[in-house]
Structure 1
Amino acid sequence: MQTLNFPKYSFRFKNKENKLSIFDDIRKKFVVLQPEEWVRQHCVLYLIQEKNYPKSLINVEKELTINNLKKRYDVVVFNSDGSIHLIVECKAPTITINQDTFDQVARYNLELNATYLMVTNGLNHYYCQMDFENERYQFLKDIPDYKS
């Protein structure tokens, strides 16, 4: 797999029936290693190891319903009160991050009401803070570290 713009992390891999899988520490299972999954696993470890977010507050690949359509978010980080702190949208490294990508995470956020948004393809990372009053987002240099 391609080198990403994240710190170097160690992962557990398994090869079964010529399919390489990576262990997802949040879901506690091996998942098929696709390019987007490679980005997602790096992002999760970035949140845990660099930003100090507790594993117990991180959720990966869950379904949500938006306008009667079933969608799946990549990563959500909760606050200790159950509200949503951060939504992360992961794309494969070959996918260019553009306005459509931000529109996708913004649509998810209409339902989830996260304070922060992160969009990454593993090479480029974009961070935003929501301004709910003015219905827009402000770009940030990084997302804040976890504060309990």
Structure 2
Amino acid sequence: MQKLKLPEFEVKLKDKNIFCLVRKKWVVLTPEEWVRQHFLNLLISHLEYPKGMFRLEYSMSYFKNQKRSDISALDKEGKMFLLVECKAPNVKLDQKVINQVSEYNKVLDSQYVAITNGMNHFIWKREENRLTQINEFPFYQS
């Protein structure tokens, strides 16, 4: 798998599977899953997010369509804190991806919204019903 612009960590691989840091089970290793696991490592090991506050592939209904967010982190009260859409490293983070995560956030109402392909990362903070791009990923709010 491709080297990403995310902190390295000891990845557990077996056959065509990767051990999920949060779900604590083997999942199929795809380029998107590679990015998700590296991003989870950033959040857990570097930004102090507790493993128990994540919802991966969180299911939601949006205009009668079932959608799933890649990474959702809840705050201590159980409200959505951070929503992350992961893409494979070769996928361009364009307006289509921004629209996708924005649509998810209309349902989930997260304080922070991010997109990543492991090479580039963008994050926005919700301020007065609009998203403002910021430069740093937030530490977990305990």
Report what 1:98 is aligned to.
94
Larger Rg: 1
1:59 to 2:55 alignment: yes
Question: What stretches of structure 1 of length at least 5 have no aligned partner?
Answer: none
Q: RMSD across aligned C-alpha pairs, in angstroms?
A: 0.9
Alignment equivalent of 1:88, drawn from 68, 84, 94: 84
Aligned structure 1 segments of 4 or more residues deviating by more than 4 angstroms: none
Matches within 5 A, 1:1-148: 1-15=1-15, 20-131=16-127, 133=128, 135-148=129-142
- Cα deviation for residue 29 of structure 1 reads 1.2
Larger mean Cα displacement after TM superposition, 21-30 or 113-122: 21-30
The residue identity in structure 2 corresponding to 1:14 is K
Distance in 2 of aligned mates of 1:121 and 1:23: 19
TM-score normalised by L of structure 2: 0.96
CA contact (8 A) 2:7 2:41 kept: no
CA offsets 1:97-118 (integer angstroms, 9 cap, x no match): 0111111001000000000011
Percent identical among aligned pairs is 39
TM-score by length of 1: 0.93
